[in-house]
Chain A
């Protein structure tokens, strides 16, 4: 057999590697910044783009799609070529993929900074960027599949199975969740509303974790772990079983983000039981990783690369055990909406994704530059600093989660809530301080890595095109006893189709009935569409990312009903494009905020929360008092809502602004009458009471005063004591 000579493309790997390191530093720095805002609200700089509501999506998008995304591509472009014994299918596509992805990241950062967001977590990017992502993802797919099809290795190695499943599932998730109706060149409304929007969103959100942060990184683990340890993979059949079980079961688990919400009970139960079933398939990956190191543990003591991998895989095991536990309804009742969740995701993010990326970079750079790592000692120090950072991050978050959940639920013996919401926040501020120290240590480690790698790069010489040779692929000749799975491994298209079928089942069974069966979302007659002013206010609420700290979902718990009001019903959200249930309560729930506080209270509170509540950690929103409501776009918004099925009268878009101004005037009048507001306007520059009806603050107040009011029963007159 004549050996064919060819070259691996290392240059594209180098670029993705650079991008990984750079975006990693950026994303983590933003993370540290937002962490500090929890105890020093002034760090928001009272500037829209640097306020938590906008920075938090920048942080999550940067670490998920920029840092881990580029890490995934680095690893795939390196390992895929070597596992298929082929150069990437097309260099041009590689570069379109690279620069396209970086463009997406930059556009994401800029648009989020300026408040363009869909208001759906981890899918915040607006419709033009969604389209761009789809295109680039297709480019990546063609490039990957082209490489696989022209491979010189008959069977696909397990890492490639994971890459294929990742590609097809992310494509499916992204497209389905991004259905939205544009009403301007940068803004759109989610196609779905309320409960349905929530279900689709968390089907996406959960599986973004599964198929963007987990499966591709497992693929990387299957390549880099055995390579770095020079040990065989522990069990081929474990690979097979845990791969198929993982991708099949993962997709069902989305509703565990919506336990005890207005989502139909049956969907919640499905989400819960599939999450529990997910433990073993997830752990299959961890076991195959850790057991691969049997007989190589002496190497772990000396090799920082392996150290990173071991802790990464262990963290993976921890968070994939913790996740199912938190999906059990009774545990979720404690964990959800608290900082426990934040601790949990950072075990995964810092431990699993971060450490896998670091380990991979420490492995790759010396290989690509044909040299030794500048300093193993420095890398080991990075490892320890990072590990301690994770611990100092996670433990306070768990503590804060338990403490806050406990305080939320505590009643006095007389039967009253023992703590105000603010007390539960003030109590955990020390934990917020500690976790930011953990984050700082972790970030310092990342900087040490970059220094170490730069030093390594400087002393090495880069091999842009690495020579390789392999025999061409011959027509398949059966070699006797053959295992059924190896047939699939020979047929990448079959594998792609099977993966799609396996991941599509769970989503279909959960989502389709929720859309088609009417009884799943009982309608409530008193629920009416938002007025134009409220709609504008709602869009401001979305723009400022209020949902990242405030939920709009009262769960059927005694403490929540007492604290916030009647628990939320599915029919209340039918006009909510997008839904705004939120996933975290750094501030109190707002599902029943309407009518709770006077307009003046909101006015003062948005100007400076600390004037109203001294210990509040909410940022200030002074720009809402300066910006005019964009009334020019009202008709377009109304028309978009009509298209989505919101029953505004025909032709209402033309007169909507009249109603808007009427309502704004009424609120402005109440404000102008209030002594406290007058006092504030007298001493504060930027509060223009004269023109206040044109300002965004009035729209926001109108929305806040509306939330959850439609089904508020008439004030009860208690007579039992008479």
Chain B
């Protein structure tokens, strides 16, 4: 197979950047993995650092594209990349820098007491700035190359046109960035690369693989290998299970912090009956959303028991109702709602339910459970003498 690109040139341009980036990513990620235990003071949690890293990556991509344009153009014109020495130097510097940068980052974390800029240690900050600066320099250089080639090429094609003096030459192709990007050859020169195949009239050309496509392919393979190594061989990446445990831990801490701040620490021992309209209507809304399915829209009972009478299967005090909602009675079909509703919301729900006492809604379900007497309050319904028709044991089984 013919050589269709000059890998050595591109490799020189590309490889150091990839190494630099992975070195950066690897050290920072390892830290991120341990960050859960220690104080999370890494580059990854600092917005300035993240912004700078993103800029670094974007610039890398720009460099990669420009590099491929430059090398492509160079190839196109069949001439040596004369000034590649300059690039080599720049790259060499970066290459040397990459391990230094990585180790500097390791050192950066314990040296937190030294002066800091934008929340970063000064070493880290200056390192990031200098990487960006060097990248900008490379972009500038490559840009100059492109400009140079463009002007050279127009001279070149003009001279060819003058030489051949053919009609085709007057429409000498000037390649757009898109054509250059894909390594297109002018349609007029197609016959040079026709392979002479003829399948039911279909011909085939021998165009080279678009550089970005090929390098993109290599990149995905490289990323794939790194990923698999990190997650399945070195196990420095978090497994699904570890990710889950970390997420739960973080959430629990955040929840605890919030609840303490919000004074939302109500439980079945401390819960009190709320009577303010806002709480009752909040309770009502949630009741209609969830509880109504089983207990009816007006709490008249459906699959679940009537909640407006004085008969309760699990006792009817505010604390009891709170507890029933919170933990549920899974054996009897009442589920636990503590993961869906906060303690305050459960308090509102329980208070709303208590507020419905004696509302006698239409279609009320028959009594279930035992008569519950609120301390010092007489039952609202008249038939206090009536024995409960349904034995509690019958309901329980």
* A227 at interface, CB cutoff 8 A: yes
Q: Give CA–CA (A414, B341) in the complex, Å.
A: 8
- Supposing A237-B209, A294-B187 touch, asked if A223 and B217 sit within 8 A by C-beta, the answer is no
* B385 at interface, CB cutoff 8 A: no
* B84 at interface, CB cutoff 8 A: no
A562-603: which residues lie under 8 A (CB-CB) from chain B? 562-563, 567, 595-598, 600-601
Stretch from A44-52, A203-211, A281-289, A505-513 contacting the other chain? A281-289
Within 8 Å CB of B231, what residues of A? 265, 269
- Choose from A234, A273, A597 the contact partner of B227 (Cβ within 8 Å): A273
* B232 at interface, CB cutoff 8 A: yes
Within 8 Å CB of A596, what residues of B? 335
Identity of the chain A residue whose Cβ is nearest the Cβ of B245 in the assembled complex: A556
Stretch from B119-127, B288-296, B354-362 contacting the other chain? B288-296
Within 8 Å CB of A416, what residues of B? 338-342, 345
Instruction: Looking at the assembled complex, report how far the CB atom of A601 sits from the nearest CB atom of chain B, in whole angstroms.
Output: 6
Identity of the chain A residue whose Cβ is nearest the Cβ of B187 in the assembled complex: A295
Q: Mark B92-114, 1 if CB is under 8 A from A, else 0.
A: 00000000000000000000000
Give the A-B contact count at a CB cut-off of 8 A: 174
Evaluate contact between B340 and A235: CB separation under 8 angstroms: no
Evaluate contact between B302 and A676: CB separation under 8 angstroms: yes
Identity of the chain A residue whose Cβ is nearest the Cβ of B329 in the assembled complex: A715
- Choose from B206, B221, B264, B294 the contact partner of A235 (Cβ within 8 Å): B206
Q: Give CA–CA (A227, B1) in the complex, Å.
A: 27
Within 8 Å CB of A279, what residues of B? 216-217, 220
Instruction: Looking at the assembled complex, report how far the CB atom of B113 sits from the nearest CB atom of chain A, in whole angstroms.
Output: 35
Interface residues on A, range: 35 or more
Evaluate contact between A269 and B340: CB separation under 8 angstroms: no
- Supposing A237-B4, A276-B223 touch, asked if A556 and B217 sit within 8 A by C-beta, the answer is no
Q: Give CA–CA (A265, B190) in the complex, Å.
A: 50
Instruction: Looking at the assembled complex, report how far the CB atom of A479 sits from the nearest CB atom of chain B, in whole angstroms.
Output: 10
Instruction: Looking at the assembled complex, report how far the CB atom of A232 sits from the nearest CB atom of chain B, in whole angstroms.
Output: 4
Evaluate contact between A273 and B224: CB separation under 8 angstroms: yes
Instruction: Looking at the assembled complex, report how far the CB atom of A589 sits from the nearest CB atom of chain B, in whole angstroms.
Output: 15
- Choose from B207, B251, B267 the contact partner of A234 (Cβ within 8 Å): B207
- Supposing A83-B200, A157-B199 touch, asked if A277 and B206 sit within 8 A by C-beta, the answer is no
Within 8 Å CB of A265, what residues of B? 231-232, 239-240
Stretch from B31-39, B136-144, B253-261 contacting the other chain? B253-261
Q: Mark B196-212, 1 if CB is under 8 A from A, else 0.
A: 01011111111111100
Within 8 Å CB of B338, what residues of A? 416
* A233 at interface, CB cutoff 8 A: yes
- Choose from A232, A233, A557, A675 the contact partner of B244 (Cβ within 8 Å): A557
Within 8 Å CB of B4, what residues of A? 237
* B76 at interface, CB cutoff 8 A: no
* B195 at interface, CB cutoff 8 A: yes
Q: Give CA–CA (A303, B146) in the complex, Å.
A: 38
Interface residues on B, range: 35 or more
Within 8 Å CB of B241, what residues of A? 556
Within 8 Å CB of A235, what residues of B? 204-209
* A501 at interface, CB cutoff 8 A: no
* B344 at interface, CB cutoff 8 A: yes
* A298 at interface, CB cutoff 8 A: no
- Supposing A241-B209, A414-B342 touch, asked if A274 and B224 sit within 8 A by C-beta, the answer is yes
Instruction: Looking at the assembled complex, report how far the CB atom of A178 sits from the nearest CB atom of chain B, in whole angstroms.
Output: 30
Instruction: Looking at the assembled complex, report how far the CB atom of B212 sits from the nearest CB atom of chain A, in whole angstroms.
Output: 10
* A82 at interface, CB cutoff 8 A: yes
- Supposing A415-B254, A718-B327 touch, asked if A233 and B203 sit within 8 A by C-beta, the answer is yes
Q: List 11 A-B contacts (CB under 8 A).
A: A157-B197, A227-B201, A273-B227, A415-B252, A416-B339, A416-B341, A417-B340, A483-B1, A595-B330, A600-B303, A674-B303
Interface positions of A (Cβ within 8 A of B): 79, 82-83, 85, 153, 155, 157, 223, 226-227, 232-239, 241, 245, 260, 265-266, 268-270, 272-274, 276-277, 279-281, 283-284, 287, 291, 294-295, 329, 411-417, 420, 483-484, 555-558, 561-563, 567, 595-598, 600-601, 604, 612-613, 674-676, 715, 718, 721-722
Interface positions of B (Cβ within 8 A of A): 1, 4, 182, 184, 187, 190, 194-195, 197, 199-210, 213-214, 216-217, 220-221, 223-225, 227-228, 231-232, 239-241, 243-244, 247-248, 251-252, 254-255, 258-259, 262, 264, 267-269, 289-290, 293-294, 302-303, 327, 330, 332-333, 335, 338-345, 365-366
Other than the given A79-B200, A157-B200, 13 more pairs (CB < 8 A) read A226-B202, A238-B209, A241-B209, A268-B240, A277-B217, A280-B217, A483-B1, A556-B244, A557-B247, A558-B247, A567-B244, A601-B294, A718-B327
